Amino acid sequence: MAYTIKTQPTTPNATYTSLVYNVSSSNATNPQYNYIMDVYPSGSADRLARIRQFPNPLNEAVFDPSRIFNDNLGYYNSFGSSYVVPADHVRTFSVEFGEEYGTSSSSSLAVTASIQTDVIEVFPGQIDPNNGTSFNWLDSGSGVILSDRPDGVTEYVGAKWRVPVYNGTGGTLLITGSGYGSTDYESVASGEFYSMGPYINPSDGQTLTISFNGQSISREFQTACNYPVYNFMFINKYGMYENFSTALPVRGNTSVDRQNYNQSFVDYSNQGAYDVERRGETNYNTNLTDNLTISTDWLSKEAAVWLTQMVESDEVYLAVSPDNTVFKPIVITNASYVQNTGRKDQKTFMYDITFRYANQRNGR
C-alpha cells in the first residue's frame, strides 16, 4: 500500500489562507473509499476534527484545515510588557491522514488512521491570494518584523506601543534600538514569535528606531498639546498586536432605543377616577449606544495603507490618556474607506475612525 502526502504547506504559516494538503493512496479504487484527515493539538490525543472526502477524478483528495486551525486559536493581549507570544495565539497542530473502505458496496468499513502525519505551526495571519507568488507565508525562513508600519508615523509621549517579530533563522537574534541610547533590548530565540513591550518612552522631539535582523521601524515622539491621546491597539494582518495613536478631538453621538407600552388613561383596576397625571405611553426600557469618531493626523500614502489594517481588524482595544494603562475593547464601525483617490497631487491622507465601546453603558 502506498499512501502519500504529495503537497503540503510550509511551517509556520497563517490561518487566513489556503493550507492545502494533497494526498493519494493506492487503495482509492476500493469500494466505499474515503480519505480521512484528523486534526489534533500537537502532543494531544484530543481530536479536534475528522474530515472525510471521496476520491476526486484523479483518485486523490485535497484537504484544507486552515479554518479548523483558526477556530482553535485566540489572541493574547498583554499590553504592558514584552512577551513570547504564547500557545493558543501561535499553536502547533498535528494533521494525520488515513483512509476507510470496504470489500463491497454494502460491506462494513475498515478504518485505518494516522498513516501519514504532518506537524504545522500556525498563527492568525492573512495572506493575500493576489500577490502573484504563493499562498504560503513568504517570510517563514527568516527573522522579520511582523508589521507594515512605515517610518515616521507620529507617536505620542506616554502612549503604549508594540513591535512584534518572528525569528526563523535557526539562531538567536536581538531586537536593538537607536535614537534613544543605542542598546540591545530583547533576545529572541529561534522559532519564537515575540512582542516587544513599551518600557522605553522617549521624550518630546526624540526618534526611536527599533531594528531586527536588518529591518527597522522609526517612531517620532511628540507631546499632545490640546487633546487627550487616543491609543489604539489592534491585531494587524500578521495576527499580532501593534498600535496607532492620534491626539485630535473626538466627536460623538448617542443613539437611544426606547421600548414603550400604552396603558389606559382610565385606571379600570382601581376606582376609575379621572387623573390628569396618569401616564398613557410608558417607557419601560432604554438602551444607549455611544458612537465616537476621531480623525487621524495627516498620513503618508504608506502610513494610510498600513492603517487600513486597523480599520479591518477583528480585535481592537483603546486607551485614552492620561490613563494609558487601561485598554478597553472597542468595535470599529467604519462601513467603508477610501484607500486611494488616484490623484497625483495628493501626498497625504486623513481617515475618520468611527467606533463604539464593546461594553456600552447601561440605560434606564
pLDDT higher than 80, residue 18? yes
pLDDT tens string 126-172 = 988 777 666 777 665 689 999 999 998 889 988 889 999 999 998 99
pLDDT tens string 80-97 = 788 999 999 999 999 999
Mind giving me the DSSP string for 9-45? Answer: --SSEEEES---EEEEETTTTSTT-EEEEEEEETT--
Q: How confident is the model at residue 313 (pLDDT cuts 50, 70, 90)?
A: very high
Question: Among residues of the chain, what percentage have pLDDT more than 90?
Answer: 54
pLDDT at residue 286, as a whole number: 84
Q: What element of type H or E holds 353? A: strand 352-357
pLDDT at residue 252, as a whole number: 85
Tell me the backbone φ, ψ of residue 33, rounded to 5 degrees. -70, 140
pLDDT at residue 304, as a whole number: 87
Whole-prediction pTM: 0.86
Calculate the dihedral angle through the C-alpha atoms of 147, 149, 152, 154, rounding to the nearest 10 degrees: -100
pLDDT higher than 60, residue 345? no
Which domains, ranges and CATH numbers included, belong to the chain? Answer: 3-126 (2.60.40.1930), 143-251+289-357 (no CATH)
**198-208: average pLDDT:** 80
pLDDT at residue 77, as a whole number: 86
pLDDT at residue 132, as a whole number: 64
